[in-house]
Structure 1
Amino acid sequence: MEAEEKGGFAAIWLDEDVYIAEGPNMNVAFVTKENELLMPSFEKKLSGYKARRVLSLSELLVKEGKLSGIRVENVTMEEGKKACEMMLIGSGILVRPVLQWDEQIIGDGKECPLAQALMDLVLEDMKSGPSDVRVPVPY
């Protein structure tokens, strides 16, 4: 409730094995101290289209040297809270940084440069990405 009062999000869900599952109807991702994008495995979790697209687009950041790699695997709460960056990914919010989780400040507690880089890639992809991943919807 405190997070809602401050205009933030309220929950990160854990699966039955106590691994990070997802946020409130969104995927969650991290940037590790090794500068890797780390996303929880989709095995028992939300397999969002936007998160899968972010994984694909993040390969561009690896090629540019902004990320050292990409991993999709089980993530513990301790690993998540030690991340340099944390972000929520979803259709409605696209890519949004998380600056604090419970009492733990994530990274330096400021806007995340890689989250912003991923947001920029998603926005560009939505405007001009490959036609095989975009469907025009007439309004």
Structure 2
Amino acid sequence: MGLLDNYSGIGMCPRPKWQHQGVIAQFFKCALPEIYKQDLILLSEATVTDDWDDLAPDLVVFSPDMEPLCIIEITTHAQCNAIIRKCYELIERFPEAEYFVYDYERQILYQYDVENDEWLSSSEYIPVSKYLNKAMMEYL
């Protein structure tokens, strides 16, 4: 389960692991005060547009106009590279958004660096969201 899975809700298989859902719950708990303060919108597993067949990242921070600002995908170590590759579909469509992929098994967060077209790792760098005003690992 992860970014860019087009699924039909109840028929979705396999279900995300509890660790995956726990990271999402933790992010909501920690990030919502900042998100509300800025009048932004945080949704989980929502499509990035009104199209039901569109890509549905794990977490998306939207502007009040429903433009995706920050896209966060939660994944296992085994799926991390595949999810990062899949993110490029959204990067092409929404180049102004921030992109993060969190490997919850290794507790490493990757942030897309648009200027250098590369993914930076939290093991060597402190990923910060310009929208959430804090090091992203503090929310995870």
Instruction: State the TM-score, normalizing by the size of structure 2.
Output: 0.38
Structure 1 length-normalised TM: 0.38
For the pair shown, the structure with the greater C-alpha radius of gyration is: 1
